[in-house]
Amino acid sequence: MSIFTATHNNTLKHSLWLWFVVTLILTVAAFLAGGAWLFFSQGISPLSAAIFGGLLVLWALAYTLAYRRIITPLYRAYGQITACTNEMALGNLDAAGDITGQEYLTELSQNISSLSSSLNDYIYEISAVLSHLSVGDMAVKLSKSQQYSGDFMPIKNALKRIILSLNETFTEISRLVDKLTKVSKQLKNSAGSLAQGSAEQLQEITNLSELVTGISHHTADNASNAQLAAKSAMEAKERATTGNEYMNHLLVSMDEIGAASSDISTIIKLIDSIAFQTNVLALNASVEAARAGAAGKGFAVVANEVKQLALKSADAAKQTEELIYTSIQKVQEGVKTAEQTAEVFKDILSSVNITAELSGKIAGLSQAQAQDITRTTGIISGIAGVVDTNTANAQEVAAVSEELNNQAKSLKRLMKRFQLKGSRDASLDTAIQAKQALSARTLMQRLKEALSGCNVSGYDALLKNAVNSVPSIECLYLIDEEGIQVSSTVMSDAASKDVSEEFTPAMPGDCHAAKKYFTKALKLGGEVYQSEEYISGATGGLCRTFSALCTTECARLVVCIDTMCGIEVN
């Protein structure tokens, strides 16, 4: 009871006492005044006065008895009603049940209990709906059995609209997430293909650039060689021209040799004629020597020698003539060959001129080709740079697409946390809840049996051995009959993985006296109380508390089991 309640009740008590005393004094004074008036003015007998005094005493006793039978219970009922309404104002709606059955103000207390029950029902359902929505369960429905009336109808309609709006919104988001996932996957594949194609294109451009660079080098070499060939052709042209001039000189010389050979032939003929004449003279001298006899014997010897000389000269002239004739034939053949060679040299000179001209043109074209290939190499280098940039961009797009795809997958996984209408089987949820309740009640019975022979020092060890026996258990803890926690809050391994950093578990010595799971367990006297679903301060998910009173040889304890909703139990 609050200080305000106690002060208010004391004020009421003093007011009622003051009203009773003042009323009693005024009534006694009125009776005494009436009795005195009757006694002195009417002259009543002492017996009548005694009777009148007795009636006055009886009236005072009756008035006092009426106060004790009516005013005091009324005051007590008022105090209880005030205390309950104050507790309700503080949020403890279960306090209204304590005023039921009062003899006075029964209808008022029943109305307050009914109000408390209605508010409890409203709050429980609203809390359950909001708890489900807070963990992403958009498939939650308002209970058909819960009737909303008066000013609570807008709340019901608002809850319905919130559920409908959230379902529509998250359904659309889910559809967009599916579409985004599909598009991001396609974009990822396309970007991957583009990146691969760009890489291959870059490789081909690189190969082409290397090939063109090689061709450029070869073309430059060819241009250089063509320049050298053109230079050599010009030199060959000059030499061919010189050779042609020499050949012309050779032809002139051969003509002169032929003419000289003809002159020599004439001279040879003259020598042959002289030899013939000499031979005739020698013959005539021999004849004359023979005629002279002995006197002409010496002359005969001379004539004979002259004859021999003439014969030798004729023979030499003949041989010389033959040689000269052969030389003339050779000279004629040489002239003919020289003429043919000159013709060939003319053809060679013409070909060399053509070759020199073509070599010059080839050299010019090769130089231009080398320049074109150099420019082509520059263009290909520019293309390679663009392709390289495109490849880098394609790889960046591929990376962004990969990240987008991963984000889409993460968003899709996040959307799976939200349960939309039609996305789950309600009967399956009911079956899971039933299994969880059965497992919790079974564990509750085991803990009660184990606590019967356990003292305070063994509470934590007992709870640690039991907390992981059921997959859906979040934590276990014990409270004494005064509402004080006597054990640690033992978390399960499954719940410990998801515990929020801001969560601080209840510790021994913490008070739970105002908690519903504690008060309900005391009232049920051993029966298991099952709370509505609510948001766990530890994991942020839906949970439910099972509590029951356990009486041992040493103490009366409330065993509390917090379970995580939605986890299947074998």
- One domain, residues 192 and 220: yes
Task: Look at residue 4 in the predicted model and tell me its pLDDT.
Answer: 40
Binned at pLDDT 50, 70 and 90, residue 5 comes out as very low
Q: Is residue 509 pLDDT above 60, yes or no?
A: yes
Selection from 155-159, 210-214, 460-464 with the highest mean pLDDT: 460-464
Q: Is residue 15 pLDDT above 70, yes or no?
A: no
Query: DSSP characters for 417-453?
Result: TSBPTTSS-HHHHHHHHHHHHHHHHHHHHHHHHHHTT
Binned at pLDDT 50, 70 and 90, residue 2 comes out as very low
Residue 27 lies in a domain: yes
Q: In the chain, what are the helix, strand and coil shares in percent, each to the nearest 5?
A: 75, 5, 15
Task: Look at residue 490 in the predicted model and tell me its pLDDT.
Answer: 94
Q: Is residue 81 pLDDT above 90, yes or no?
A: no
Residue 156 lies in a domain: no
- One domain, residues 307 and 208: yes
Picking from 101, 119, 137, the residue at the C-terminal end of a domain is 119
- One domain, residues 361 and 224: yes
- One domain, residues 113 and 246: no
- One domain, residues 196 and 98: no
Task: Look at residue 7 in the predicted model and tell me its pLDDT.
Answer: 47
- One domain, residues 429 and 408: no
- One domain, residues 263 and 403: yes
Picking from 358, 387, 415, the residue at the C-terminal end of a domain is 415
Residue 301 lies in a domain: yes
Binned at pLDDT 50, 70 and 90, residue 478 comes out as very high
CATH value at residue 215: 1.10.287.950
Binned at pLDDT 50, 70 and 90, residue 488 comes out as very high
- In 3D space, the residue among 513, 512, 465 whose CA is nearest the CA of residue 490 turns out to be 465
Q: Is residue 281 pLDDT above 80, yes or no?
A: no
Residue 440 lies in a domain: yes
Q: Is residue 143 pLDDT above 50, yes or no?
A: yes
Query: DSSP characters for 133-192?
Result: HHTTBTT----SSPPP-GGGHHHHHHHHHHHHHHHHHHHHHHHHHHHHHHHHHHHHHHHH
Residue 162 lies in a domain: no
CB 188 within 8 A of CB 405: yes
Residue 134 lies in a domain: no
- In 3D space, the residue among 453, 478, 450 whose CA is nearest the CA of residue 465 turns out to be 450
- One domain, residues 225 and 333: yes
Residue range(s) defining the domain that contains residue 79? 3-119
Q: What is the pLDDT of residues 35-52, one digit of tens each?
A: 555 555 555 566 665 665
Q: What is the mean pLDDT of the chain?
A: 75
Binned at pLDDT 50, 70 and 90, residue 300 comes out as low
Q: What is the pLDDT of residues 526-535, one digit of tens each?
A: 899 998 888 8
Residue 164 lies in a domain: no
Share of the chain above pLDDT 90, in %: 9
- One domain, residues 361 and 335: yes
CB 131 within 8 A of CB 535: yes
Kindly state the average pLDDT of the residues 228-238.
73
- Cα–Cα dist 512/517, whole Å: 9
CATH value at residue 471: 3.30.450.20
Residues 6 or more apart in contact with residue 455 via CB below 8 angstroms: 554
Alpha helices in 72-152 (DSSP H): 72-89, 106-134
Q: Which residue has the higher pLDDT, 309 or 483?
A: 483
Picking from 387, 415, 443, the residue at the C-terminal end of a domain is 415
- One domain, residues 357 and 435: no
CB 499 within 8 A of CB 475: no
- Cα–Cα dist 540/136, whole Å: 11
Q: Which residue has the higher pLDDT, 163 or 51?
A: 163
Q: Which residue has the higher pLDDT, 423 or 363?
A: 363
Selection from 42-46, 168-172, 227-231, 477-481 with the highest mean pLDDT: 477-481
Binned at pLDDT 50, 70 and 90, residue 100 comes out as very low
Kindly state the average pLDDT of the residues 303-315.
72
- Cα–Cα dist 400/355, whole Å: 64
Residue 436 lies in a domain: yes
- One domain, residues 434 and 395: no
Q: What is the pLDDT of residues 382-431, one digit of tens each?
A: 777 777 787 777 778 777 777 877 877 777 777 666 666 665 555 546 77
Q: Which residue has the higher pLDDT, 380 or 427?
A: 380
Kindly state the average pLDDT of the residues 483-494.
93
Tally of domains in the chain: 3
CB 560 within 8 A of CB 528: no
Q: Which residue has the higher pLDDT, 97 or 366?
A: 366
- One domain, residues 376 and 460: no
Q: Which residue has the higher pLDDT, 446 or 58?
A: 446
Q: Indicate the residue type of 363.
A: A
